[in-house]
A and B are shown apart, each in its own frame.
Chain A
Amino acid sequence: MKDILTPRERFGMLVIDEKPDRCPVIPLITSHAATVAGIKLKRYYTNGERMAKAQITAFEIYQHDAISIFSEVGLIAEAMGSEFNYPDDDLPVLKKPALLNGLHDKIIIPNPRKSKRLPVYLEAIKYAYRSVGDIVPILAYIPAPFTTGMHLLPPEKFLIETLKRPDGIKIILDTILDVTKEFCFEVINAGALPIIVDPLASGSVISPAIYKDVAMIYEQKLIDYLHRFDFDVILHICGDTSPLLEYFLQTSADLISLDRVNMLKALDKLSHKIRLIGNFDTTTLLLSNPEEIHKTAGMMVEQLKFARKGYIVSTGCEVPIKTPRENVMAFIKAGKEKGWYWV
Chain B
Amino acid sequence: MKRTYKVSPKKIGLRTWSKQFEKISTETISRYRYYNNGEWGIYLSPPATFMVYGMRELKRLKFDNSFEALRMWGFVFNETERLFRAKQIGKKVIATMGDLGVVPILVMSFPECVPFYPECLWWTPFFKESTELLDTASKLGVPEATCFSRAVVAAFHKKAYFPKPDLIIASTGASCDDYSCVMQTVEDMGYEVFWAEIPYRKSPEFFLNKPKPQILEKTKEGFVYPKILEEHLIREYKRIWQALFKLTGVNNPHRLVDTIKKINTLRRLVMGIKRMNEEAPIAPIPALELMVIEFGNLYGYADFDEWLEIVEMIYHLVKDRVAKGIGVLKKDAIPIAWVTPSADPYLLNLVEECGCRVVTTEYVINQALVQIEEDIEPLRALARAFINASLIGSTEERIKKIKEKIVKKQVKGVLITNMLGASHCAMETRLIEKLLSDVPILSIDVPAPFGITQQIKTRLEAFVEAMR
**Which residues of A line the B interface, CB within 8 A?**
4-6, 8-10, 12-13, 16-18, 20, 129, 133-135, 137-138, 185, 188-189, 191-193, 224, 228-231
Verify A8–B45 contact, CB threshold 8 A: no
The contact of B56 among A6, A13, A129, A224, by CB within 8 Å, is A129
Verify B18–A134 contact, CB threshold 8 A: no
User: Which residues of A sit under 8 angstroms from B49, Cβ to Cβ?
Assistant: 188, 229-231
Given contacts A12-B160, A189-B14, A231-B52, contact A134 B84 (CB under 8 A): no
Number of residue pairs across A and B with beta carbons under 8 Å? 76
Of chain A, the residue at the smallest CB distance from B88 is: A17
Residues facing A in B26-40 (CB within 8 A) are: 26, 29, 40
User: Which residues of A sit under 8 angstroms from B51, Cβ to Cβ?
Assistant: 191
Given contacts A4-B157, A5-B158, A9-B158, contact A185 B18 (CB under 8 A): yes
- Bound form: Cα–Cα A13–B40 in Å: 14
Q: Is B373 an interface residue (CB 8 A)?
A: no
**Residue of B46, B49, B129, B160 with most partner-chain A CB within 10 A:** B160
Verify A229–B46 contact, CB threshold 8 A: yes
**Which residues of B line the A interface, CB within 8 A?**
14-15, 18, 21-22, 26, 29, 40, 42-46, 48-49, 51-54, 56, 59, 80-81, 84-85, 88, 128-130, 132, 157-160, 163
- Bound form: Cα–Cα A129–B88 in Å: 31
Verify A134–B15 contact, CB threshold 8 A: no
- Bound form: Cα–Cα A230–B43 in Å: 8
User: Which residues of A sit under 8 angstroms from B53, Cβ to Cβ?
Assistant: 8, 12, 137, 193
- Bound form: Cα–Cα A228–B158 in Å: 30
Cβ distance B30 to chain A, nearest Cβ, rounded Å: 10
Verify A133–B56 contact, CB threshold 8 A: yes
- Bound form: Cα–Cα A177–B129 in Å: 34
The contact of B160 among A9, A133, A224, A230, by CB within 8 Å, is A9
- Bound form: Cα–Cα A18–B162 in Å: 11
- Bound form: Cα–Cα A188–B50 in Å: 10
**Residue of A12, A133, A192 with most partner-chain B CB within 10 A:** A133
Verify A228–B29 contact, CB threshold 8 A: yes
Verify B84–A18 contact, CB threshold 8 A: yes
12 sampled A-B residue pairs with Cβ under 8 A: A4-B159, A5-B158, A12-B53, A12-B54, A16-B40, A16-B80, A17-B88, A133-B54, A134-B132, A230-B42, A230-B43, A231-B49
User: Which residues of B sit under 8 angstroms from A6, Cβ to Cβ?
Assistant: 132
The contact of A191 among B59, B84, B163, by CB within 8 Å, is B59
The contact of A13 among B29, B46, B160, by CB within 8 Å, is B160
Verify B45–A229 contact, CB threshold 8 A: yes
Cβ distance A231 to chain B, nearest Cβ, rounded Å: 7
- Bound form: Cα–Cα A20–B160 in Å: 8
Verify B160–A189 contact, CB threshold 8 A: no
Cβ distance B45 to chain A, nearest Cβ, rounded Å: 4
Verify A135–B14 contact, CB threshold 8 A: no
- Bound form: Cα–Cα A13–B81 in Å: 9
User: Which residues of B sit under 8 angstroms from A5, Cβ to Cβ?
Assistant: 158, 160
Q: Besides the contacts A10-B160, A231-B49, what 18 more A-B pairs have beta carbons closer than 8 Å?
A: A4-B159, A5-B160, A6-B132, A8-B53, A8-B54, A16-B40, A16-B80, A18-B163, A137-B54, A188-B49, A189-B14, A191-B51, A191-B59, A193-B52, A228-B26, A229-B48, A230-B45, A231-B52
Of chain A, the residue at the smallest CB distance from B78 is: A230
User: Which residues of A sit under 8 angstroms from B159, Cβ to Cβ?
Assistant: 4
Cβ distance B92 to chain A, nearest Cβ, rounded Å: 17
Verify A135–B56 contact, CB threshold 8 A: no
Verify A4–B158 contact, CB threshold 8 A: yes
Verify A134–B54 contact, CB threshold 8 A: yes
**Residue of B52, B128, B129 with most partner-chain A CB within 10 A:** B52
User: Which residues of B sit under 8 angstroms from A188, Cβ to Cβ?
Assistant: 18, 48-49, 52
Verify B130–A189 contact, CB threshold 8 A: no
**Residue of A188, A224, A230 with most partner-chain B CB within 10 A:** A230
User: Which residues of A sit under 8 angstroms from B40, Cβ to Cβ?
Assistant: 16
Cβ distance A3 to chain B, nearest Cβ, rounded Å: 10
- Bound form: Cα–Cα A193–B143 in Å: 34
- Bound form: Cα–Cα A228–B85 in Å: 20
User: Which residues of A sit under 8 angstroms from B85, Cβ to Cβ?
Assistant: 16
Of chain A, the residue at the smallest CB distance from B131 is: A134
Cβ distance B354 to chain A, nearest Cβ, rounded Å: 25
- Bound form: Cα–Cα A8–B54 in Å: 7
- Bound form: Cα–Cα A211–B301 in Å: 44
- Bound form: Cα–Cα A16–B85 in Å: 8
User: Which residues of B sit under 8 angstroms from A231, Cβ to Cβ?
Assistant: 49, 52
- Bound form: Cα–Cα A328–B432 in Å: 59
Given contacts A134-B128, A229-B46, contact A189 B15 (CB under 8 A): yes
Cβ distance B137 to chain A, nearest Cβ, rounded Å: 14
Of chain A, the residue at the smallest CB distance from B14 is: A189
Cβ distance B138 to chain A, nearest Cβ, rounded Å: 16
Cβ distance B225 to chain A, nearest Cβ, rounded Å: 44
- Bound form: Cα–Cα A135–B53 in Å: 10
User: Which residues of B sit under 8 angstroms from A192, Cβ to Cβ?
Assistant: 52
Cβ distance A188 to chain B, nearest Cβ, rounded Å: 5
- Bound form: Cα–Cα A274–B317 in Å: 40
User: Which residues of A sit under 8 angstroms from B52, Cβ to Cβ?
Assistant: 138, 188, 191-193, 229, 231
- Bound form: Cα–Cα A193–B52 in Å: 6
- Bound form: Cα–Cα A20–B158 in Å: 9
Of chain B, the residue at the smallest CB distance from A230 is: B45
- Bound form: Cα–Cα A16–B88 in Å: 10
Cβ distance B306 to chain A, nearest Cβ, rounded Å: 16
User: Which residues of A sit under 8 angstroms from B14, Cβ to Cβ?
Assistant: 189
